[in-house]
């Protein structure tokens, strides 16, 4: 008897393809109406990206936020940027301060996330929407802040809160002095920040960790007193900043000590807790982060064992209330993984067509143009095709991470050609000198 083997198709069927007419955030939204049934009652809709700083990722998130806020009442946009610093952007989109937009973009978002015109347009839309909307949309950072290299911004927020909530208490000044010895104003100085921390005497590092632990315990134990003297919201925000400062201390220890595995575990667990804290204020939120953070399956980086990302924590806690939209990409330019070239101003590098056998290649071969695929409504043949794509572009040069897309995502949006976002001159003018220097050498493709 002859045994026949069936090779899964190299493309999805037309039935699996949902065309998206445009990525223009200001365009009509009727081509997104298929989302109504898909979203259902989900409380968190997470939107991924293959790499940071791509124009098309910013525009996709902006457009989806518009739809979810206007049609479904989502009241918060939570983004992979510093939590404490994000308070400034939140105040601006709610009309609560008179800062210039460039100042907000440079100081209210971290890790270069706010330095792009597409992000500025996003914030401007939120402020216009909030001026007349019955249900305003708040802005939240979810990440550790301090460029993921310094606890100083979070610690300063804690100390400012304690000065109001606990006026008789004087924190050990050595805590702030030690933290300020390795402050980071941008990702470009983060390597020097790590080197400065590594040179601290062990007893100084241990004293910092003990001091942060003592502040965290004091804040936890005196909650009722602190809330009575301030507000519940002020307390919760300060406590979250305290958690971030303490976690950042462990992250920096791990980075300088070579324990990168623990760095990823601790960071993602903390940002998952932050998302859950935001959910205590809002019924429904839009969550924006890298695919590796939002996916339901283990995340893998080059040379490392799998770790538990934020998405696995949220899926465990929220179940069907957590809906995940991953993205794939075809050709174009992506964040440069060559650190020396990046620091010299070559922020983006050419991106070849996706590797055969990858989720990106399957999507890229399935249709010309931008489209979505609902992974929960596939035919058996289309499900087999997705199942056969076992890796996904991770935005780190030529690295492709293992993925089980049917487990990791509910929806995948394919961006056939991605480009670098446009630097915003007003935001750059408000940025630290080293940022202005690097961007002065940047020549967009």
How far is 400 from 327, CA to CA, in rounded Å?
Answer: 14
φ/ψ of 406, rounded to 5, equals: -65, -25
The per-residue pLDDT for range 1-48, each reduced to its tens digit, is 444 444 544 899 999 999 999 999 999 999 999 999 999 999 999 999
Nearest one of 87, 107, 88, 112 to 98, comparing CA atoms:
88
At residue 383, the pLDDT reads 97
Is residue 239's pLDDT more than 50?
yes
CA torsion, points 48, 242, 313, 32, in degrees to nearest 10? -30
**What's the pLDDT tens digit per position in 140-188?**
999 999 999 999 999 999 999 999 999 999 999 999 999 999 999 999 9
The helix-helix angle for 380-388 and 359-366 (nearest 10°) equals: 130
pLDDT digits (tens, 9 = 90+) for 63-100: 999 999 999 999 999 999 999 999 999 999 999 888 99
Buried b (16+ CB within 10 A) or exposed e, 186-217: bbbbbeebbebbeebeeeebebbbebbeebbe
Look at residue 443 in the predicted model and tell me its pLDDT: 83
Q: Could you report how far apart the first and last alpha carbons of the chain are, in Å?
A: 58
pLDDT tens for residues 348-389?
A: 999 999 999 999 999 999 999 999 999 999 999 999 999 999
Contact 149, 190 (CB under 8 A): yes
Residue in the block written with tokens 């069927």? 13
Which pair of tokens denotes residue 26? 């200001």
385 neighbors 28 (Cβ within 8 angstroms): no
Query: pLDDT tens for residues 250-304?
Result: 999 999 999 999 999 999 999 999 999 999 999 999 999 999 999 999 999 888 8
Instruction: List, as one string, the DSSP characters of 219-231.
Output: HHHTHHHHHHHS-
> How confident is the model at residue 6, as a pLDDT?
46
> Model-level pTM?
0.95
Longest CA span, the chain: 87
State the pairing for strand pair 348-351/322-335: antiparallel
Q: Which of 98, 78, 89, 87 is nearest to 161 (CA)?
A: 87
């Amino acid at each position: 008897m002859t045994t026949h083997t069936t090779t899964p198709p190299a493309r999805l069927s037309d039935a699996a393809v949902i065309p998206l007419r445009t990525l223009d955030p200001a365009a009509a939204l009727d081509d997104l109406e298929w989302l109504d049934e898909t979203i259902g009652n989900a409380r968190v809709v997470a939107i991924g990206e293959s790499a940071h700083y791509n124009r098309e990722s910013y525009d996709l998130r902006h457009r989806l936020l518009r739809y979810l806020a206007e049609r479904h009442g989502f009241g918060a946009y939570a983004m992979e940027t510093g939590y404490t610093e994000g308070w400034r952007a939140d105040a601006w989109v709610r009309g609560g301060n008179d800062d210039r937009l460039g100042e907000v973009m440079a100081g209210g978002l971290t890790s270069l996330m706010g330095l792009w015109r597409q992000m500025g347009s996003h914030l401007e839309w939120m402020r216009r929407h909030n001026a007349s909307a019955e249900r305003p949309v708040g802005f939240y950072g979810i990440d550790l802040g301090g460029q993921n290299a310094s606890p100083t911004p979070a610690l300063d927020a804690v100390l400012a809160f304690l000065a109001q909530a606990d006026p008789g208490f004087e924190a050990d000044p050595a805590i702030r002095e030690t933290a300020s010895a390795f402050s980071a104003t941008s990702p470009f100085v983060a390597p020097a920040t790590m080197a400065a921390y590594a040179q601290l005497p062990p007893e100084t590092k241990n004293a910092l960790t003990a001091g942060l632990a003592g502040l965290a315990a004091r804040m936890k134990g005196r909650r009722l007193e602190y809330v009575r003297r301030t507000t519940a919201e002020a307390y919760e925000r300060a406590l979250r900043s305290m958690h971030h400062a303490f976690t950042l201390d462990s992250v920096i220890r791990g980075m300088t000590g070579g324990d990168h595995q623990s760095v990823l575990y601790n960071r993602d667990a903390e940002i998952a807790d932050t998302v859950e804290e935001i959910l205590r204020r809002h019924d429904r939120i839009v969550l924006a982060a890298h695919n590796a953070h939002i996916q339901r399956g283990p995340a893998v980086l080059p040379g490392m064992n799998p770790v538990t990302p934020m998405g696995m924590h949220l899926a465990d806690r929220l179940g069907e209330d957590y809906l995940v939209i991953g993205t794939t990409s075809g050709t174009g330019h992506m964040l440069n993984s060559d650190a020396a070239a990046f620091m010299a101003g070559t922020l983006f590098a050419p991106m070849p067509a996706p590797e055969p056998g990858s989720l990106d290649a399957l999507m890229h071969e399935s249709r010309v143009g931008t489209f979505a695929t609902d992974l929960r409504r596939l035919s058996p043949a289309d499900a087999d095709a997705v199942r056969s794509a076992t890796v996904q572009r991770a935005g780190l040069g030529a690295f492709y991470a293992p993925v089980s897309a049917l487990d990791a995502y509910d929806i995948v949006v394919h961006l056939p050609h991605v480009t670098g976002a446009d630097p915003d001159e007003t935001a750059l003018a408000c940025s630290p000198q080293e940022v202005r220097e690097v961007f002065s050498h940047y020549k967009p493709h």
